[in-house]
């Protein structure tokens, strides 16, 4: 994007310490309260407010309570479908994971730039998605070894494997298992990054073509703007789908840990 001049589509991912907290540290590590941390707190607060509306515990629910119960019921069905009734105990974790990622994705898409603020999507940082992925993977490992001990390794040797294939298949399955946290974390990071870059690049087209000449502004600019509207809608869908994929894959992996194959 050399020709886009001052518009840098990657600048939106830059992390900046806020409120002069850049010198905060804990045990020698920097823990500055950044714009990323702000959006994490916002996601947590919005989720908290959302769930409070579901705490009325009425037999006949209102709209808000119905919405919250729909989300918990959605996660419950996901876990029961993948793991069975044993999956109910993971509802708190998977619900937290799904809603936290979903709100992070959606808050990052808010058109706050219109009022001069800079929305930030912390799920477009693999330092954040990686922590979530490692957390899910650790839970799978802990549950798997706690429930099945060393028998958990039988996960890497599917039923009916010929004896000669056991050793090579074990390593193939081991690699595919070890890749899971990376695929989990990178998928979310890549999807969010790509969508936001695309939106910024198209926005740059609109501005730069209008600056170049009215004719270019009407043709390229209008076309880019129409495309942006469509892609914004697509990004909302991606925000939901990526959160769902993260929760779905976590529950699929938890199923391996709970039930082996």
Antiparallel, parallel or unpaired: β 29-30 and 25-26: antiparallel
SS3 25: strand
Contact code string over 213-242 relative to another protein, x by CB under 8 A: ------------------------------
| Contact call for residues 107 and 46 (beta carbons, < 8 A) | yes
188 is a contact residue toward another protein (CB under 8 A):
no
Structure tokens given for 137: 């993977």
| Contact call for residues 128 and 13 (beta carbons, < 8 A) | no
| Contact call for residues 257 and 143 (beta carbons, < 8 A) | yes
Question: Which own/partner contact pairs does 142-149 have at CB distance under 8 Å and 24+ positions apart?
Answer: 143/254, 143/257, 143/258, 144/256, 144/257, 147/257, 147/258, 148/257, 148/260
Among 214, 252, 248, smallest CA distance to 97 is for 248
194 is a contact residue toward another protein (CB under 8 A):
no
115 is a contact residue toward another protein (CB under 8 A):
no
11 is a contact residue toward another protein (CB under 8 A):
yes
Beta carbon nearer to another protein, 46 or 223: 46
- Interface segment toward another protein; rule CB under 8 A; list 11-19, 111-119, 209-217, 228-236: 11-19
186 is a contact residue toward another protein (CB under 8 A):
no
26 is a contact residue toward another protein (CB under 8 A):
yes
- Interface segment toward another protein; rule CB under 8 A; list 128-136, 200-208, 227-235, 244-252: 128-136
One residue of 15, 227, 245, 249 binding another protein per CB under 8 A:
15
- Interface segment toward another protein; rule CB under 8 A; list 39-47, 168-176, 225-233, 251-259: 39-47
- Interface segment toward another protein; rule CB under 8 A; list 28-36, 155-163, 223-231, 236-244: 28-36
On the 0-12 / 13-18 / 19+ scale of CB atoms within 10 A, 255 is: buried
Helices of type H across the chain: 35-52, 63-83, 91-109, 126-148, 166-178, 180-212, 214-216, 222-259
DSSP H or E run through 29: strand 29-30
Contact code string over 50-89 relative to another protein, x by CB under 8 A: -xx-xx-xxx-x---x--xx--xx--x-------------
Residues that bind another protein (CB under 8 A): 10-11, 13-15, 17, 26, 29-34, 36-37, 40-41, 43-44, 47-48, 51-52, 54-55, 57-59, 61, 65, 68-69, 72-73, 76, 91-93, 95-96, 99-100, 122, 124-128, 131-132, 135, 189, 193
């Amino acid at each position: 994007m050399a020709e886009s001049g001052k518009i840098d589509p990657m600048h939106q991912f830059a992390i900046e310490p806020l409120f002069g907290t850049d010198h905060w540290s804990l045990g020698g590590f920097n823990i500055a309260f950044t714009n990323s941390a702000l959006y994490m707190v916002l996601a947590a607060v919005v989720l908290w407010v959302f769930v409070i509306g579901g705490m009325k515990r009425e037999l006949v629910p209102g709209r808000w309570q119905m919405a919250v119960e729909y989300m918990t019921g959605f996660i419950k069905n996901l876990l029961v479908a993948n793991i069975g009734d044993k999956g109910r105990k993971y509802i708190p974790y998977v619900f937290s994971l799904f809603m936290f990622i979903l709100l992070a994705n959606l808050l990052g898409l808010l058109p706050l730039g219109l009022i001069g603020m800079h929305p930030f999507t912390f799920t477009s940082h693999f330092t954040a998605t990686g922590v979530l992925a490692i957390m899910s993977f650790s839970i799978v490992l802990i549950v798997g070894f706690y429930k099945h001990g060393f028998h958990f390794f039988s996960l890497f040797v599917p039923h009916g494997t010929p004896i000669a294939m056991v050793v090579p298949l074990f390593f193939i399955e081991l690699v595919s298992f070890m890749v899971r946290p990376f695929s989990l974390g990178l998928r979310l990071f890549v999807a969010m990054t790509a969508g936001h870059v695309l939106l910024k690049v198209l926005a740059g087209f609109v501005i730069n073509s209008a600056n170049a000449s009215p004719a270019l502004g009407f043709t390229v600019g209008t076309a880019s703007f129409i495309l942006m509207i469509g892609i914004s809608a697509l990004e909302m869908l991606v925000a939901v789908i990526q959160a769902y994929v993260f929760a779905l894959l976590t529950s699929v992996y938890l199923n391996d840990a709970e039930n082996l194959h």
